[in-house]
Copies of this chain bind each other. A is one copy, B any other.
Amino acid sequence: MALPAPLHGVIPPVCTPLDACGEVDTGSLARLVDHLLDGGVHGLFALGSTSEAAYLTDRQRAVALETVVTAARGRVPVLAGVIDTTTARVLDHAKAAARLGADALVATAPFYTRTHPREIAAHFRHLRTATGLPLVAYDIPAAVHNKLTPALVRELAADGTLAGLKDSSGDDGSLRRLLVSLGGRTARPSGPAPGFAVLTGSELTADAALLAGADGVVPGLGNVDPAGYVRLYDAARAGDWPRAAAEQERLVALFAMTDAGPESEMGRSSSALGAFKAALQLLGVIEGRATALPQVPLSEEAVAEVGRRLKDASLAAGRPAP
């Protein structure tokens, strides 16, 4: 399906449920897609960092993407992460994503290798030229150890290389500079890149990003509470900022579930991804909460803490998954 221009709304990075053998649990994944669409989300981002894309084999990535596309049934656009180190490897993922029905691609700057702004620009331009799908830049310095500058993103937006940005940098000042350089919250439609979508991956400051003029939000926590983020988004669109902020506060409190796994025992990916999956299991959406190797699983104690966070945020635990 064609993307709306600009792409907007709540577009969660879809978790990838795994079965006891570590394979993609397609039944749970399809239920998760329904859970998200029932919550009112505007798009789906498969194979993102929250989807454990960096942990899945190419075969597993294909299964996950195909499952999401199929389950979405064309109701919302499906973005596909094409996360790999450099251009040629990313292109292999891009071809697979196009074949499997993705509506847009989401690519990071090169990583593992020591790169340079000129090479980052060349990377996105090559990707754009070699694929037929809209391209969203994924700014995630915690993973790739480079920050996309506002100036570079503006340039690639203005020349049509990029259809959007998913900003997971946590640097809201930089995001604001980009938005202002594109025309600001009211004048962007007549700015240098009218259809360019600015999406924040900062699930803790979505209200702020929307106040600043962002088009949407890509919240990992949106797996657990999609309806909450949709309410936040709707309040913002309606100009009811106190209500948007109140919803954001409830979600910030809920986000504390990601601390359930202690830093002394596991990586931050394990604790956050483990918490999202434990919550989805407690809510009856997915069957198991396994995360991919080599992540440390959450303890029973940590899972209980996740449950308390759900309850505090007024999210009733659902029936056990079939």
Binding site for B on A (CB under 8 A): 22, 49, 54-58, 60, 83, 85-89, 91-92, 110-116, 118-120, 122-123, 126, 142-145, 170-173, 176-177, 180, 184-186, 202-205, 207-209, 211-213, 239, 241-242, 245-246, 248-249, 252-253, 255-256, 264-270, 292-296
Contacts and interface: CB of A to CB of B under 8 A. Distances in A.
Contacts of A239: 241-242
Contacts of A112: 49, 54, 83, 111-112, 143-144
A292 B22 contact: no
A102 B62 CA distance: 28
Copies of the polypeptide in the assembly: 4
A120 B269 CA distance: 13
A212 B266 contact: no
B170 A115 contact: no
A267 B113 contact: yes
Contact of A173 (B118, B202, B292): B202
Contacts of A111: 111-112
Interface of A (DSSP majority class):
helix
Query: Of residues A89, A145, A203, A207, which shows the largest number of chain B Cβ atoms within 10 Å of its Cβ?
Result: A89
Given A57-B88, A119-B296, A264 B264 contact: yes
A266 B118 contact: yes
Given A114-B268, A118-B266, A294-B110, A180 B249 contact: yes
A253 B245 CA distance: 25
A58 B205 contact: no
Nearest to A245: B211
Query: Of residues A60, A91, A208, A241, which shows the largest number of chain B Cβ atoms within 10 Å of its Cβ?
Result: A208
A22 to B, nearest CB: 7
B114 A185 contact: no
Nearest to A108: B112
Contact of A270 (B49, B119, B249): B119
B172 A205 contact: yes
A309 to B, nearest CB: 13
A111 B204 CA distance: 25
